[in-house]
Structure 1
């Protein structure tokens, strides 16, 4: 009998959870051509600042050792910044890892997780893996969260509600007033996760700012990341701030040693004054570039919703695949959501002219 090679398709009689077997894997943005622009993953287009790169390189010399499982030094730095105890900070392998931990901590099979849709594409998979059920509440006509409808969707089976601000992929933020009214309606025994992966790019003063809400609500956890503004997407490190008992429950669901020493070293270095000042200067440049791009697209005739992340949303509907392919042919890779729209990251300055030249003929 011939041996089965790794390249040959196989079938299995192993009993798998059918909902997991049917679950599509997370789809990363496809690579850009060598002379093109990858604007599909909301990455920071600049390389690490020197101080951060040096800290990462130094940590790499000790990868034969396990990291600190609790990322204590990083938690202490963040705790000081946000005025909480180190136990009030949880560090994970990116904010998406933390989302998974909190959902696992709160949900059992049959429980429900409420979130707006369309929103971050990882939410449905994280809920399914936990054995819970997604309750997707349609976005408003302006592509933002309908918080009233989300509050209405909370039932006895609801265990978690996710609010994404600015919303990924549409870019629309939740206002502070909207969020306050929403929290007044959410039962105190339901966990609310405020996903603020793009908080540093927000320039709308009316937007909710989770850092001002810490300690105010006993059921609120704020999630942030070093992947976007701080340019550390490749090492995977994010954090959560919230009530210690909730964070302790999430700690119990974590894969041990999931955050590497290289990641924590990079994050700690990114918080040093000189390094952070340069990183936030770059964020200012991207925010200005985003505003200029959005205004130019609107002038072309595109209906671009409010944009407060490091990306803009093209509501292309049934034309999504066509427009995405035209962009790709011009060397621009964007994230297409067939039937809904296209998310385009704000990247290198040179990419803007190419992007606008293609889209001008597709309005």
Structure 2
């Protein structure tokens, strides 16, 4: 059997080491996973109450239109219900976009490093990849990305705050970019971490859709809402884009359980505010600690910090994992000599800080 030739150049996604693997390998009981930017505070108690009170119905197909969640979000965001597309996480929508708009020889433009699935799914469709290194501060090189637009350019990917650097673009930068971008190029604005932005830095990207019908905004319930295990996300775009994506979307691509949980989670903004406050506090404390031991980092508007390490990121990763802390080495993300650390609970972060302090002392 012969697959697409490009698949020989690609590798399946490799997730970070899991808790059970670490426990078995190092004989540890205390394991803290800070590698995948999950919510350390779990998810809304109201979601827990939902599943305690309701018996699951697994023998019936889910609502393929995602009606209840669709109408809730459309009302909250003041958008047409037909402007919403739902996926198994926003990642599935990325896959839909590539499948819908890309063919062999088309070009896509992105920063590097950024979320790797943009490139992965584009390559599968035969697209050419134009990657532009992030600026020294980790921000998107928007001018260079615009200069790279050609007649065959179909999609430009913008992740803000960017994963893995954590840097967010400003509203002025976005509006300037959209005003200069050709209207036949699809701009994908991935706001997976939008709930962690300071209110004054919110792009209000949804408010730009009427003026820029070539824009699609992606969001997810996997990060701040704490529903990563249920896999549900959504996109907001011109109804014509949504109609196109619906043609490649699986008819029942989000589960009943995910839809129900997302409805409850979206309605509980008190939990989101709690997550926001705790993350901001933990981020500032961790930044202050790093400064105290002489380490640098990229400024972050997300729930993680890309830390510059004195030796390789793999070396710091190995030291931390032996002490029960799982982080993501920068060598796997495209920025050597760094580690990406999810901001965890205060008590866990304090323990990790002591471990990193010991590590630094051993290097001296």
Counterpart Cα distance in 2 of 1:36 and 1:250: 40
- Which one of the candidate residues 329, 351, 357 is aligned to 2:348? 351
Q: Where does 1:167-182 land on structure 2 (aligned, <5 Å)?
A: 167-182=162-177
Q: State the TM-score, normalized to the length of structure 2.
A: 0.91
Task: Name the structure 1 match of 2:291.
Answer: 298
Q: Where does 1:69-88 land on structure 2 (aligned, <5 Å)?
A: 69-88=64-83
Task: Name the structure 1 match of 2:26.
Answer: none
Q: State the TM-score, normalized to the length of structure 1.
A: 0.91
CA contact (8 A) 2:194 2:202 kept: no
- Secondary structure at the aligned position of 1:108 is classed as coil
Counterpart Cα distance in 2 of 1:108 and 1:49: 41
List per-residue Cα deviations over 1:61-99 (Å, max 9, x = no partner).
Answer: 211100011101111111001111110111111111111
CA contact (8 A) 1:59 1:262 kept: no
- Structure 1 runs not aligned, ≥5 long: 1-13
Q: By how many angstroms is 1:208 displaced?
A: 2.9
Task: Name the structure 2 match of 1:237.
Answer: 232
Q: Where does 1:145-164 land on structure 2 (aligned, <5 Å)?
A: 145-164=140-159
* 1:333 and 2:326 aligned: yes
- Secondary structure at the aligned position of 1:295 is classed as helix
Q: By how many angstroms is 1:59 displaced?
A: 6.2
Alignment RMSD = 1.8
- Distance 1:144-1:280 versus aligned 2 partners, 3 A rule: same
List per-residue Cα deviations over 1:107-145 (Å, max 9, x = no partner).
Answer: 111111111100112222111122212211100001111
Task: Name the structure 1 match of 2:105.
Answer: 110
* 1:31 and 2:18 aligned: yes
* 1:278 and 2:271 aligned: yes
Task: Name the structure 2 match of 1:321.
Answer: 314
User: How many residue pairs were aligned?
Assistant: 348
CA contact (8 A) 2:43 2:265 kept: no
List per-residue Cα deviations over 1:188-227 (Å, max 9, x = no partner).
Answer: 0100010000000012734534234232311111110111
Bigger drift between 130-139 and 223-232 goes to: 130-139
- Structure 2 runs not aligned, ≥5 long: 24-28
Counterpart Cα distance in 2 of 1:29 and 1:209: 33
Q: By how many angstroms is 1:358 displaced?
A: 2.8
